[in-house]
Structure 1
Amino acid sequence: MRPRRLLTALPVFNEAQHLSPVLDEVVAHADDVLVVDDGSTDATAELLAGRTDVRVVTHEPNRGYGAALRTAFCYAKKHRYDVLVTIDCDGQHEPQRIRQLADLCRDGVDIVSGSRYLDPSLAGGLSPPEQRRRINRAITAEINERLGLSLTDAFCGFKAYRVRSLGPLRLAEDGYAMPLELWVQASHHGLNVIETPVPLIYLDEKRSFGGELDDARRRLRHYREVIDRAMARIAVAPPLRSDDPCAGLLASGVAMPSS
């Protein structure tokens, strides 16, 4: 049996402050590493140009967190990886757990999702910003009720995917709430989802979501709209083209590198 091919991908937008130390840690604990630079306007591109240990796909202009994740999904499919781990570049995930997540993604498990709330002992006495925790709790409960899932953390970006299980997904949300659309699609296609505990780390409690999403009420309303929109799309989605490895996943206009 051939060894499983593992890709670790980081969606990045204006992360020059954290980029180098995070990537140093990631490459120490991963095999192949992909950075999706989502149209950064700070020094991110220059820092990436100086590295030879990661692969880079660049969006121009900025398309959003969800679009960056879709590009990572497409890259993993196109290059025939077996497992994809996604990890954020803001220092809030521990790269030494990459292989732990990847190893759990076997024996019929399609998605392994990190949860910051599954094991309170990993929080080290920390508490998340109350507004964020309240919204996460509300949306996670709604996701579970509407989709029959048993999640404790609907928003954690630290995940492992069995790449072949991404095939039937049709993802359209470009923004930060795309993972909610992912849960709708995962439930619809009967994917086997498990959670694994990861530490609760908040380095920047005042980090902006961007624009009107910085307002908690608008953010909560937006999340619910994304869930409703994703569920409505299920009923009208046309069949995928079997000859397209990125059908339903790739943000339009993004050129994929050949290696």
Structure 2
Amino acid sequence: MRTLVAIPVYNEEKYVTQVLREVRKYAEHILVVDDGSTDQTPMLLAQQKVDVIRHAENRGYGRSIRDAFRYAQCYCYDWLITMDCDEQHEPRSLPDFDKAIEADDADVLSGSRYLDPAYSGDPPPPDRRAINLEVSKWVNEHLDLHITDSFCGYKAYRVSKLKHLNLNEDGYAIPLQFWVQAAAHQLRVKEVPIRLIYNDPNRSFGGKLDDPEHRIAHYREVFDAELEKYADKLAAKSPCSCPGR
């Protein structure tokens, strides 16, 4: 069983060295996707024994995730774990994902900051929690996936299932595409509890997405478009899901 840990980064000079030091305690294969960083991140990555994909310019979080998907498929990994580089996804949770992978009863293992009250920590910014709740409601009502955290980027994917997906979203709305396609292709989804951490409640999404009303309207537009695109598959197939433990 070969597992790749992929970490998208953009101007993470504050965290990248320490995060990679911790990840290396739990993972042998590590990929960093540098989304056009303009700070010291590229120089710091050059000092690390990790594989790096570097974008010449900032192309978006979704593009970085898609690049990680392609890399994992190209190099024949069995599982791909994605995590952020801002210390909000703890590397010490990687063994929890490994244990869930070994259970072999899901195709997507999605981290949840809200599944288990024992993992509660820093309160999220109110607008982010409200949007997460609303989007999770859409996902559960339309796709019957029973998830509690629709936007957590700490996930494990069975790589053989990624070939079924046709994602083209470059930005932060990629989870909306992903959940619809996961349901349409009957991927089995299970949640893994992770600790709720918010080191920087003022972290920017960039541009108009910093406005919560614009952000949720954009997410709804992407979600509705994807529902329409996969309407036939969703109608014909009952998506399989596994409620989180």
Same fold (TM over 0.5): yes
- Farther off after superposition, 91-100 or 204-213: 91-100
Q: Is the 8 A contact 1:85 1:102 kept in 2?
A: no
Inter-partner Cα distance in structure 2 for 1:123 and 1:107: 27
1:176 and 2:172 are equivalent in the alignment: yes
Normalised to the residue count of structure 1, the TM-score between the two structures is 0.86
Q: State the AA in 2 paired with 1:203.
A: N
Aligned to 2:41: 44
Q: Secondary structure at the match of 1:36?
A: strand
Identity of aligned residues (%): 51
Alignment of structure 1 residues 20-169 onto 2, 5 Å: 20-51=17-48, 53-105=49-101, 106-124=103-121, 126-169=122-165
Aligned to 2:184: 188
Inter-partner Cα distance in structure 2 for 1:234 and 1:54: 37
Q: Displacement, 1:102?
A: 2.9
Q: Is the 8 A contact 1:30 1:99 kept in 2?
A: no
Aligned to 1:210: 206
> Please, which runs of 5 or more residues in structure 2 have no aligned partner?
234-245
Q: Deviations over 1:191-218 (max 9, x none)?
A: 0000011000000000001100110100
> Please, which runs of 5 or more residues in structure 1 have no aligned partner?
238-259
Q: Deviations over 1:52-87 (max 9, x none)?
A: x21001112211000000000110000000011101
Aligned to 1:221: 217
Q: State the AA in 1 paired with 2:24.
A: V
Q: State the AA in 2 paired with 1:112.
A: L
Q: Is the 8 A contact 2:96 2:192 kept in 1?
A: no
Q: State the AA in 2 paired with 1:184.
A: V
Q: Is the 8 A contact 2:111 2:192 kept in 1?
A: yes
Aligned to 1:251: none
How many aligned positions are there?
232
Inter-partner Cα distance in structure 2 for 1:107 and 1:32: 20
Inter-partner Cα distance in structure 2 for 1:9 and 1:22: 12
Runs of 4+ residues deviating >6 angstroms? none
Q: State the AA in 2 paired with 1:146.
A: H
Q: Secondary structure at the match of 1:168?
A: coil
Q: Displacement, 1:235?
A: 6.0
Inter-partner Cα distance in structure 1 for 2:148 and 2:232: 30
Q: Deviations over 1:197-243 (max 9, x none)?
A: 10000000000011001101001101101111222333699xxxxxx
Aligned CA-pair RMSD: 1.5
